[in-house]
Structure 1
Amino acid sequence: MKKTEIVGFKRANLGRPEAQRLRAEGSVPCVLYGGKEQIAFHAPAYLFRPLINTPDAFEVTLNIEGDIHKAILQARQFHPVNDILIHADFLEITPEKVIKISIPVRLKGTAKGQMLGGRVQHKLRKLSVKGPVKDIPEFVEVDITSLGLGDSVKVSVIELPGIEILDALSNPVASVNVPRAAKLGGGEDEDEDEDGEGTTSEDGGDDAAE
């Protein structure tokens, strides 16, 4: 997983009025759980930028008034109108702790079908996995070089030692779509063949009658 750091401060007061005040000052109310105790804190909103709108999975170092905690962002809540982050939940982790998380899926290589005019469709961009924090990779890479027109590669090809894959193994990761021109071209050839066969049949019938 990628790494980032957030510096936070313990919340002396809880409740909606205090949370609204913190948001007005540019902070995000947060909760850290999963450790020895649950900690309510707040942190500057700009520190969350690496964690928002990204497919990457992050291990977050939380520095809460000098106390260091390793965590992952477990849940986040946005304002329904302006999409501003208004709350975040963190799960405290250790290297051996088993967690569920989604990690990015990257495609490697150029598919053979692309050389023939096909277009690669990246269908699965994040893979859901479960395993010890220390074994979870930053991303998974899937080789697509062997894919021809109409071919696809599925989750079943992904191997992650010590990690359980939670997505269905039959789910497609990527496929190479047949270009529309090729489909239309195939249809025209087929029509021509059918017409040709019909003409031959009629001619053959006339010859037989003669």
Structure 2
Amino acid sequence: MKVVAFPRTEQGSGASRRLRRAGQTPGIIYGGTAAPVAVALDHNALFHALKKETFHSSILDMEIDGKVEQVLLRDFQMHAFKPLVMHADFQRVDANQKIHVKVPLHFVNAEVSPAVKLSGGIISHVATELDITCLPKDLPEFIEVDLANMEVGSSIHLSDLKLPKGVSPVAHGGQDDLTIATATVAAGKVSDEAEGTAEGSADAADKK
């Protein structure tokens, strides 16, 4: 994805307010061997780009003064109650250096899993994104989680995922095998089954 930015020389909150009134969003590009660069971006283009999942987990081509460099979106701030992007941070990417980034998880085949199809269960997505490290060229837009074989009472863990070549997960807090999804019986179904069991026991008792 391509992003066009313009260098900005004025700094401070006053300058940032003037930019926003003019339909632009202040931002910064940092990292690598070059010095940080303050930039301005078209607000509407940035606002709509932020709605796209790939914008958050892809290498972006940032064009400034006709020169293009590769960056990652690292952070952005929204107004407390207005649909307004207040600021955006981008990090330069070195093709030979591994990056650390979160990528979204895409869950597929829930409807054909035994948990849902045969048991009327519910599959809960415990994690919706995954921390990974890889070279920029190996960065996936998303990682697929296949739920086709899930049964009630089972779980899918990090070790069950098929990660793309060159991609390694990043463990946090000693959780080496993070839980990704779980399958359980729906609460209403549990109540119905319990009620049915109780009625069956009562009928048996009456017959005695």
* Common topology (TM > 0.5): yes
CA contact (8 A) 2:102 2:131 kept: yes
**Does the residue aligned with 2:95 lie in a helix, a strand or coil?**
coil
Using the TM superposition, give the Cα deviation of residue 10 of structure 1 relative to its aligned residue in structure 2, in angstroms.
0.8
- Residue identity over aligned pairs, in percent, reads 23
1-structure distance, mates of 2:158, 2:58: 22
Correspondence 1:175 to 2:182: yes
Report the equivalent of 1:112.
114
Matched residue type, 2:169: I
Report the equivalent of 1:27.
24
Task: Give the TM-score of the pair, scaled to structure 2.
Answer: 0.83
Matched residue type, 2:182: S
Runs ≥4 in structure 1, deviation > 4 angstroms?
A: 192-200
1-structure distance, mates of 2:3, 2:52: 17
Correspondence 1:126 to 2:113: no
User: Structure 1: 5+ residue runs without aligned partners?
Assistant: 204-210
Q: Deviations over 1:149-202 (max 9, x none)?
A: 2322122212434323125344332222312343124323543565588789xx
2-structure distance, mates of 1:74, 1:97: 16
Report the equivalent of 2:62.
62
Matched residue type, 1:171: L
Correspondence 1:186 to 2:193: yes
User: Structure 2: 5+ residue runs without aligned partners?
Assistant: none
Correspondence 1:145 to 2:148: yes
CA contact (8 A) 2:71 2:91 kept: yes
1-structure distance, mates of 2:194, 2:202: 12
| Structure with max Cα Rg | 1
1-structure distance, mates of 2:39, 2:170: 32
Matched residue type, 1:121: S
Matched residue type, 1:111: S
Report the equivalent of 1:98.
98
CA contact (8 A) 1:111 1:145 kept: yes
Worse-superposed segment, 77-86 or 14-23:
77-86
